[in-house]
Amino acid sequence: MSSTHLSLYYHIVFSTKNRLACIDESWQERLHCYLGGILRGLKGVSEGIGGTADHVHIVASLGAVHRLADVVRDLKSSFCKWVHEEILNPRFGWQDGYGGFSVGRSQLDSVKGYIRGQKEHHRKKTFQEEYLELLRESGIEFDERFLW
């Protein structure tokens, strides 16, 4: 075969440092746009970005040259720098880890809808409850002592 063909989508989730509710609604949309721009700069494609005051969800298409850990590192560090300089919040930070879940093309619209509905979703469920559910639904083994 003379070329590479991929259909790789990832649902990426990460939280603010100590899950503090520090993403203010007044600049939350700017956060989502900025993260989308970072992905474009990395030659990825943002399919949807959303979240609440204490975490972010991204569904993105990545290419063969991408390593998920590097993409998440670049997203977090670039955005953190932006918050420090533009929002003037020097204490803002992201939690060290992240969740990365594979998404099939047939699931893409469902995941995008889930991400769009974050505000409504979190009126009933905390981030911790949501994240545990994502891990369990994905069959990921974990020790809850090391999650938070």
Q: Where are the domains of the chain?
A: 9-141
pLDDT in tens, 52-62: 999 999 999 99
Between these two residues, 6 and 130, which has the higher pLDDT value?
130
pLDDT of residue 76: 96
Q: Are the C-beta atoms of residues 71 and 64 closer than 8 Å to each other?
A: no
What is the rounded CA–CA span in Å between residue 6 and residue 123? Answer: 37
Q: Are the C-beta atoms of residues 12 and 60 closer than 8 Å to each other?
A: yes
Closest-CA residue to 55 (of 109, 11, 89): 11
Q: Are the C-beta atoms of residues 123 and 129 closer than 8 Å to each other?
A: no
pLDDT of residue 57: 97
Q: What is the CATH number of domain 9-141?
A: 3.30.70.1290
Q: Are the C-beta atoms of residues 8 and 61 closer than 8 Å to each other?
A: yes
pLDDT of residue 7: 87
Average pLDDT over residues 21-32: 92
- For the chain, where are the alpha helices, taking DSSP H only? 25-41, 68-82, 108-116, 118-121, 127-137
pLDDT of residue 63: 86
pLDDT of residue 64: 86
**pLDDT confidence tier of residue 121, bands split at 50, 70 and 90:** confident
Q: What is the CA radius of gyration of the chain?
A: 15
Average pLDDT over residues 128-133: 93
What is the rounded CA–CA span in Å between residue 94 and residue 19? Answer: 8
pLDDT in tens, 36-85: 999 999 999 999 999 999 999 999 999 888 999 999 999 999 999 999 99
Both tokens of 22, joined, read: 């520090």
**pLDDT confidence tier of residue 119, bands split at 50, 70 and 90:** confident
